[in-house]
Every structure is written in C-alpha cells, then in structure tokens.
Structure 1
Amino acid sequence: MILDTPPLDPTRSEGRRLLQDELSKPRYAVEPSLWDRFREWLLGLLDTSGPGLPSWVFVVVVLVALALIALVVVVLLRPEARARRSATDRGVLDERGVDATAYRLRASNAARQGDWDTVVLDGYRAIVAASVERTVLDDLPGRTAHEASLELSKAFPDETGGVRAAADRFDAVRYGHDRAAESDGRAVLDLDERLGRARPRLTPIGTQR
C-alpha cells in the first residue's frame, strides 16, 4: 500500500518543493503594506546594478521632496496664513460666555499697560457684545467685524464713521497684524462710551442685513 504522505527524510530539492507548496497556500498570503511598497521602490532606485535610476537621481529627488515639504510648512505657519484661516473660521465674539463688561475690563487693563492692540480688539468686542445685550444686534454666531459695523451703522447713523473705522482697525490688527496706535485704542473706547449713551434706531430683529 502506497501512502500519500511526504517522506520523513526528504532531499534538499524535495524539501524546497514542499516548502514552496506549503507557503503557496492562501493562509500564508499577506498583502504588502504601503510602507513595504514604498521601501521596495526606494531600494529599487538605489539599486544601480540593474536598469534602475542612478543613485544620484535618488538623492536629488529626496532633496527636492524635503525642500517642498519645508516650503509647505513655512507657508502654513506664516502669520498671514494663520490669520486667513482664523478670519474664515471665527467671528468677533469668538469667546463664549464673555460679556461686554468683561471685555471693557480687559480693554481698560490693556490701556493702562499701553497694549493698544488689545484695547482695539477687546474694545470693539465690548461694543458688539453690548449691542447684543441691548438687543440692538441679534446674537449671530460668526458675525465679522465688518458685518457688525454695517448693522451698527443702521442703528446709530450718527456714528457710522466711527463704527466703520473701529471695525477696520479691528480687522487690521487681528488679521493684518498691524500695530494699533494709542489714538486707535482711545477712539474705540470713546466710541463704546458714546454708543452706550446713545439711543439706537431699532429695526425688527431678522431684517438687519
């Protein structure tokens, strides 16, 4: 009787064949990862014994790739790029739970320290927050400084010039990285006081566009 089993002491060629047969079974099939493929590609570039590219070409490709990556990182980290992303993602009142009184306090503290950039930013935020609290403006998330100035100009037509100038300085300091002068900060603080005393020309909420 002939048994269909492998020999107990196979020769070298028989052992190789048996190993190949065993490894060819589906359970041993492993799909190479992306990293493995990338590594094989790099090794192929470095292999100058065959028809592959010379090693100096690989070096040039790597240097160019590193230069491009560095350029992308520098561009993304530039203040202007960060400012553009912030300008599209965040409005004037981007801090939830901060009211007009808190913004005014921050602006006043900044004025005592001579930090006129913060005075312009928090002073204008105080103007917008106070207008929301007085229902002059509706509580609209993501409202920009320019949008707020258009609505405030309708509610306080006598202060149109000051409101729009304050909005322009807010955008210039926050997104354009301009430095505010003392006169800019004082103008925003004075505008906040005048608007607080003024009687707004109210229009029904929902029609302020």
Structure 2
Amino acid sequence: MSGAADRAGHALSWARSGGEPPVTVPRDPAREAARRELSKRLYHENDPGLFERALNTFWDWLDDLFGAASTAAPGGVLGLVVIVLAVSAAAAALWWRLGTPGRRPASTAALFDDRPRSAADHRAAAEAHATQGHWNQAVQERMRAVVRSLEERVLLDTRPGRTADEAAAEAGRAFPAHTGRLRSAARDFDDVTYGGRTATEQAYARIADLDRDLDGTEPHLAHDSVPTAARNTRQGAE
C-alpha cells in the first residue's frame, strides 16, 4: 500500500511539472540559496532600527529584572512596588531635610559680604528683588536688613563673620517672644543661600513681617543679653 502511494505521488509531481522530471536540490545548496534570498533588502524594509532594537533589549532586560525581584520580594509584585515607593519616599525626605549635595554648613557661612550697607539699603534691595519676583535674593536681603537693624540699634554687636543662625540665637535673647520666627528666618536664609532651595513669596513675606515687628518692639534687655557695645555706652553715660 505504501509503495502504491509513493508511485501515485511521483505521478502527481510528474503531471504538475508539465511532463518534465522533478528537480531535486541537495540540502546544503538549498539552505544557502534560501539564505541569499532572505538577505535581500525587500524582506527587511520593515525591520526595526538600531535604536528600536536596543530599546526592546532594554525593556526585555528590565522585565526580567523586575520578574526576578518580584519572586524574591515578600508579597510578589505588590510587595516590590511597596518597597520601591518606601525607598523613594525616604530618599525624598532625606533630600528635603539636607538639601542638595554639597550644601555648606550654616555655622561656617557668614551672613554679610565685604560691602557694609545700612538696614535701609538692605530693605530697599529686598523690595526691588521682590517687585521683580526674585524671591531668593529678596529673602537674603531682608534677613540681612533684620540683622543690620539690630546692630544699628546696638542690640547686637557688629560682627562681620556672624552667621544667620548665630544672629537669630543672639537676637532671640533680646526678643524672646520672636525666637521661633527668628530661627525660621535664619533657616530660610540658609536654605536659599547654601542649600540650593528656591524661596517663595510667602517666605519673603514672613521675614518682612518679622523685620517690621522687631522694628516696633521694645527689646527685653536683661544684663546678660545686652551686647558689649550697649553696656559700654550705658556705663559711659553713667
């Protein structure tokens, strides 16, 4: 029966070839001929480009990575997502607390530069920056106005190397009711000057209000909180 089927197959092939004997090609030459045929540009016009192939490779690698991580993480894919979110939140909180890398410690950064100016000069500069929406510079100049005003009132010793934190701590002894606001103002100054932060209009408004309130408030002058210059002035008058 099998021989009859083979003979029938040969007869059918003979009939389809128009009476010519069928052509058979050895395996290796046939493979080479197919390779040459498939290498023609016609068959590769719609192939992905180099960038697309690289991107597909990257996504495949990322998919394998997350697949392996999800099997190792407690709770599978959901557990992995929770871990990633927790790590991201911790990193964001750390950045917000410490600022950008390279932030200089506030304790070593001087509040004023080498150009002495009056409190009025610093206030005018702050208002000019605020009018233009330059809130970083406005915050800096208004904080300098606060400290310079206290020096002009002889409530702080004039000290070129004083930092914003030091000025806030010393001024807090003369204005104990405003200690928290003074520290907040010093922190805003340090954040925009050395921490790489961006000031806001609200931050400037807080410091400007503090400047006006201190200017209209009588200081609490305990003997140990009076600056050396003020004590010398009082003793000379006596």
Report if TM-score (shorter chain) is over 0.5. yes
Question: Which runs of 4 or more aligned residues in structure 1 lie more than 2 Å from their structure 2 counterparts after TM superposition?
Answer: 83-88
Please report how far the alpha carbon of residue 120 of structure 1 lies from its aligned counterpart in structure 2 after TM superposition. 0.9
Q: Within 5 A, what are the aligned runs for 1:73-112?
A: 81=102, 84=104, 88=108, 90-112=109-131
- What does residue range 89-168 of structure 1 map to in structure 2 within 5 Å? 90-168=109-187
Residue 87 (structure 1) shift: 6.8
TM-superposition CA deviations, 1:119-168 (whole Å, max 9, x none): 11000000000000000000112101100010111111111111110000
Following superposition, the deviation at residue 96 of structure 1 comes to 2.7
Match in the other structure for 1:55: none
Q: In 2, Cα distance between the equivalents of 1:148 and 1:142?
A: 10
Deviation, 1:95, is 3.4
Contact conserved, 1:87 with 1:175, CA < 8 A, in 2?
A: no
Selected match of 1:174 from 184, 187, 193: 193
CA distance in 2, matches of 1:121, 1:138: 20
Residues 154 and 201 in structure 1, CA contact (< 8 A), matched pair in contact too: yes
Alpha-carbon contact 1:80-1:175 (below 8 Å) kept: no
CA distance in structure 1 between the partners assigned to 2:176 and 2:105 by the alignment: 32
Aligned residues: 127
Distance 1:144 1:112 in 2: 27
Q: Greater Rg, structure 1 or structure 2? A: 2
Distance 1:156 1:86, change over 3 A: closer
CA distance in 1, matches of 2:106, 2:135: 21
Report the AA paired with residue 104 of structure 2. Answer: R
Task: Give, as a single letter, the amino acid of the residue that structure 1 aligns with 2:227.
Answer: I
Change (3 A) 1:136 1:109: same
Contact 2:106 2:190 in 1 (8 A): no
Amino acid at match of 1:140: R
Task: Evaluate the alpha carbon distance shift between residue 111 and residue 135 of structure 1 in structure 2; reply closer, same or farther with a 3 A threshold.
Answer: same
Question: Which of 193, 204, 209 is the aligned partner of 2:226?
Answer: 204
Task: Please tell me the residue identity of whatever aligns with 1:156.
Answer: F
3-state SS of 2:157 partner? coil
State the TM-score, normalizing by the size of structure 2.
0.50
| C-alpha distance after superposition, 1:73-109 (max 9, x if no partner) | xxxxxx854x539973x41122332111110000001
SS of 1:180's partner is coil
Structure 2 matches for 1:17-96, cutoff 5 A?
A: 81=102, 84=104, 88=108, 90-96=109-115
Alignment match, 1:7 = none
Q: Distance in 1 between matches of 2:187 and 2:199?
A: 11
After superposition, the Cα gap between the structure-2 partners of 1:148 and 1:87, relative to the gap in structure 1 and judged at 3 Å, is: closer
Q: Does the aligned pair in 1 maintain the 2:106–2:164 contact within 8 Å?
A: no
Distance 1:204 1:85 in 2: 28
TM-score (ref. length: structure 1): 0.56
* Aligned match of 2:65: none
Unpaired runs of 5+ residues, structure 2, are 1-99, 230-238
The residue aligned with 1:39 is none
Unaligned runs of 5+ in 1: 1-78
